[in-house]
Each structure stands twice: as C-alpha cells, then as structure tokens.
Chains A and B, each alone.
Chain A
Amino acid sequence: MNRVIALEVRSRDRRKPIRLVSSIALYTAVGLFVLLTLAPVLWLLLSSISSTNDLTNIPLRWLPNTWDFSRFTRLLDPNGQGREFVAALKNSLIVAVGATIISLLVAIPAAYSFSRFRGAQSQLLFVVLGTYMMPPVALVLPLYSILASVGLLNNVWGLLLVYCTILSPFTTWLLKTNFDTIPLEIEESAQLDGLSRWGVLYRITVPLALPGLSTAAVWALLLAWDEFFYALIFTSNINTKTIPVAIADFAAGRAVDYGLICAAGALAALPPVLIGFALQRGLMSGLTSGSVKG
C-alpha cells in the first residue's frame, strides 16, 4: 500500500516539468497563431487611421504621427458617405442572413434524406454540387436575363435566391456528414415510439447535430458575405448593393484612399465576427447536448 502511494507521488513529480514544458509549448503555439492572424489585421487598422503621407514614409513609420479616426465616423455618418456604406451593410445582412436561413431550411431535410435513404436519389448530391463548379462568368448572362424577366434584377430577393443556389449544396453535404455520425439506434427507438421521419428529424437528429449546424451556418454566412461578382452585376443602386460592391466602389476612380478601404473592411468584418461568435457559443452548448452519442 505504502509503496503504491510512494510510486504515485514519484510519477506525479516526474510529470510536473513535462506538463510545464507542454503548457509553455501550447501557449507559444497559441501566441504564434494569434500573431499570424492578427498582424495583417493590425496593419489594416493602423492604415485606417494613418494619413497617406504617414503611409508613404521612408523608412516606414510604425505608428502614425496623428491618429485620425475620421474615416470611421465618415463611414458611419448616415448623411454623408456613410449613407451608401450603412445601406450596403443592411443589404448584405438581409441577403447573407436570409440566404443562410433558407439554405439551412432546405439543407436539413435534404441532408437527412441523403444520409438515411439509399437509392437513386442519393447520387443527386454530386449533381447539385457540380453546379457550383461552373465559373460565375458563364452563368451571369443567362441568370441576368432570367432575373430581368421575372423582375428580380436589382432586388435583394433576387440576389438572395442566387446565393441560396450556392450555399445549399455545401450546407447539405456538410450536414449529411454530420448526420452520418449520429447513431441510428436513437432514431429507431423514437420511430418505434410512433414518430414520423420528419418528427425524428426535427425532434431527435437536428438537436443532436447542433454543433454541425452552427458550423454550417457560419460557413454559409461567410460565403454569402464575401460574394462579389454576382452582386456586382445584379445590383445597381443603394437599395441593393452589398458590402463587397460598396467597397469596390470606394476603391474605384483614380484617387484611392487605402485608409478608407481599410476602415470599411474592418467595419464590414464586424457583423460576421459577432454572429460567428454568437453561433460558436451555441456550438458549445450544442456540444454538451451532443455528448449523448458515443
């Protein structure tokens, strides 16, 4: 008995330095990750508050002479330049969030179908995926005439619909791989209790797949937030232009204020970061409920 305790104590002593080393390594790696992710963004933020003269100094000036936050206030001032920017933020939010929600609603049953039913229809997943391989340049003209003929050109709903065609194939596939990991037994017992397939899907499968769902949602949202080419061609005024198009407008013309673009980029990144952060908290709580399987 005493020997056993002594052994344990010794082994604990031996592991202490190893733990210290591994935790130093861990924090170093985390630090490196944070640095590599944030350094370019930090430079972006510094650029957004520097004057052109500070930015074109040789040798390079690491911190600007004067900190100039006017670009941010200009972008958020609804009476000036901000009118376009704030409207674009709003349009982007409608289009990206709308397309994400619709895509998920469509993808959940489809993913379940692909995951649970074998048959001819299961091959369709790859057909649907294949549609995304086509370069947008090739699709933009026929889509343009379709949207024009149904009156959805220069309309956020038209753009939202186009984005659904991009987002739903991938969210479907991602959710399918998620559903695949959920053990069938839980569903089968529920079915025996008299639940229909739809009932099983929404009462059992979806709650278990919440982490996967929130990842799919973040992914879809980011894809839609960043889309540029379709938005450029299909929108034409302040009522419909999305963030990437509005920023491209700032970059247009011959006197480009890089600081303004940097400020606009930083502001444009905020909504998805906040939404992503919120969804990640959902992911965490989903995780605990997801621990049923094993």
Chain B
Amino acid sequence: MADTGTAPGPAPSSLRTPLLFVTVLVVSTSGLVYELLAGAYSSYVLGDSVRQFSTTIGVYLFAMGIGSYLSRYVKRDIGRRFVEVELGAALVGGGSVPLLQLGAAYTDAFAILLYGTIIAIGTLVGLEIPLLMRILKEELEFDELVARVLTFDYIGALFGSILFAIVFVPSLGLMRTSLFFGLLNCGVAAMGVTLLSGLIAPAVRTRLRVSAFFLALGLGITFAYADRIIDYTEQALYPNPIVHAQQSRYQRIVMTRGMRGTQLFLDGNLQFSSNDEYRYHEALVHPAFAATQRHERVLILGGGDGLAVREVLKYPDVREVVLVDLDPAMTRLAREDAFLRELNGDSLGDPRVRVINDDAMVWLDERARAGGQGEGTQSTPFDVLIVDFPDPNNFSLGKLYTRSFYRILQTAMSDASAVVVQSTSPLYARQSFWCIEATMREAGLVTHAFHATVPSFGEWGYVLARRVPFEPPGEPLLAGLRFLDGPTLASLFVFGPDMAAVPVETNRLNNQMLVRYYEREWSRVE
C-alpha cells in the first residue's frame, strides 16, 4: 500500500503534520464506521434494532475509554505502538463483519463474539487518538494540538456517519464496507511507518511494513471474494449439502440431500423431507376427502411441490384439480426437477391439473367478484379445498390465515364441500394453531382440528372444516395408504392436554395476531 519504496527517513516537516491530521481523520472515520457496522449487523441477526444500536454504541464508547486509559501504559516506542494499534484495528475492524457472519452461522455464542469484537475495536480506537496526540505534542502548542486533533476527530465522525449510510452501505454492503475500512487502516499504518520513521527503529519499520502488506493482502482477497463467503455461510444454515438453490421473485428455494432423503426449504423453512412427507400429505388430503361425498373439483392453494396433488389424483372420481401457487419458479421446479418429479409422480403434468401462479387471496377475491358473470366451471364451487401455505412467518403469508381470507374462501365452497388447512404445530405453536382454528370458526366455518406426527416437523396440526355441522370422518376412503387406516384416522382428532385448545384472539388483516403468536412461539422453540 502506501509504501513507495523511497528511502526511509523523516518526511518533509511541512507535510508531516498535515498528513498526521489526515491520519486522525481516517482513524476517526473508520472507528465510527466499525461501530455502525456492529450495530447494523447485530440488529439483522438479533433483531430489535433500538436495543442493538444502543448497547453497541454504549459498549463501544466504554471500550474507547478503556483504550484511552490503557494509553498511559505505553511509555516507550510510541511510533511503533501507534502503527501496531492501527494494524490491530485493521484486522479486527476490517474483519469484523466476515467474522460476525461466520459466527452467526457456526456458533451459538454470537452475542459473546459480537461484544468481544466491539470491545476490541473500541479499545484499539480509544488508544489511537491519545497516542497520536502524544506524537504530535512535539510539533504544536497544547491548546492548538487539542483543538486541531479533536476538530479532525469530530469531522471524521461526521464523515463516517454520513458516508456510511449514503455511500458505503448502499454501494458496498456491510461486509465489503468493513473490509474497505480495514484496508484504509492498513494504509494509515503503512503511511505511519513512513511519517514516524524517526521514532521507529529501521528493523522494526520493515517488520511493520511486511505485516501491513500481508494484512492488506488478506483483507483485499476477502473483499474480492465476499460473494463466495456468503454462499458458504448459506450452506451453514442447512444440515445437508445444498443440491439446488435459487432466488425467485418471491422466495429463496433451496433443496438439500442427505442420508435421510431430500429436503425442500423456502426462505429457510423446511417444507418437506422425502423420508416422511407421506405422513404429512396423507393427513392433509385424505381426511378432507373422507369428510365429503363429491370429489369432482379440487382446489389446492399453495402446495407448488405437487405432493398434495399426487395424493389427490389417487381418487378416481377427481375430474379437475386447480392449483394456485404464487411462485412460478416453484411449480416449474416441481415439473422439471428429476427428483421432485419422481417424488410427486409428475402430478403437475397430469391433464386434470391446472396450475395458476397468483396470490391465492387475490385470485379467490377476483374469482368471487367475477362469480356473477362467470360461465361453466368459473363459478361452480369446489368439492374439496386444500389450503397448504407455508407457516405464517410474515405479514404476506399471515394475510392468508385471516378471517377475511376464510370468508373469501367460502365463496368457492358449497354446503357439501370440505376444506382442510395446514395449521402449524399445535405442540410448539399452540396459540398459533388454535388461533387459526378460532379464526376459521369466526369466519363462519364449522371446524374439527386434528394432528399427525411427522418426524421432520414434529407434531403437526390441521383444521378440517365445512360450512355446515358434520362429524369427523371415521376412516379414509382409500385402502393401502402408508400412514392412515381407520383407527389411525380416528385417533388424529384426539388432542392430549399439552395440545388442547387455549383461549386466543382471532387473526384479522388489521392486527395480524397470528404472525405475532407465531413469532413468539417459534422463537421459544428455535
């Protein structure tokens, strides 16, 4: 970096002092940027940005105090120590975001790592200014010195805070911003060796320059390969090797494969594991078929993997299946991926199946509005409706579990139809589960809740419903299923005391209670 290879020796004194002030500026800018990076990154990982920012800033400032205090123990070799502190800041500060990212993926002690990093950076930055002031005290009067150093220090802080939000984070992202400022610190260290050459022994100078060079090289390489690191950490989220990953317009679709089958994840949430998905999908589809006489027209909302369709097509009286899934990338994958096609029996390629890529709520709403003028099957109600959305972990999904949604859903039903809704775990997310059930009842449906054990998911829940009172089904209409027979099906409607109904508020579009229940309950499990 800044080493130009010129003969070592004091820089011309006319330039030396201004350059040292430039150093103050860079030092304080990068210090502030590290602090903001730690605050921003921790709010991503731990949430609650108010708390993260306030604790980060507090701990950081306190650590600067530690550094300032420690500066009194530096008695000799001030020039050399200053450069070493710079190199330390370059290493810890520059490497902070990559380190935190790896820490979030591989360790359970993210908070320890976070505050360790903040304290280390704060201490080093706290050392810098006192050391620099002592170096500069030879050149300037005390009052002039304090005024100028602090001025540049605060200007640097302003630079840092403005550039951080406006320039660096938008254009470089968090990781590259941290590496970039690490490189800047390396540059200051290298320049410092030259500027302070009078204070540093020649052999030490060489050692410091070599250290600065290798550190800059390391940071530079990481800077260039930052994207690879992100891929690497995504792998860390999954227990099995990733075999397919794509970012669709709506979600991240990841498939992994391991000893116990293939798994599909949407936005990091497990959708199925091939070794036990039959339990989930048999419980999703067959009780609903057993709860109604006619099965000619079937509506599936969600379920773009085609596995529910596979179960549906086992009934010879099914004449038409409409599958509405938001993401064309998902339904395309279900049609084209060799493994998925084998697992779903190429169900989406069946001539009875029509795939529509749309938001289920909007599609139902528009269908209901057009209902009056609809011809033929357009306005005919469906006989069996299967609602298989991902769990309500965000507002966009949460709306698909609201009273409004279940009201609109009923416009596609007759008194003879049955609907089943996958309803997350009644064991791990008990309030969420019963909230879905209560919301369906408030929307005017008659419900019977049931549950099944799916080892990959744990204890899983469903709600079966019709517009008129009905008895829960006694046995499945098909023989030869792997999981369900008569006695098993009847047992699914029995809830033990640890999963029994609890009082809940219902889920409305304007409160999205379910998303709140769900976040609270699953954060306790995970």
* Same assembly: no
Give chain B's interface residues, CB within 8 Å of chain A.
none
Give chain A's interface residues, CB within 8 Å of chain B.
none
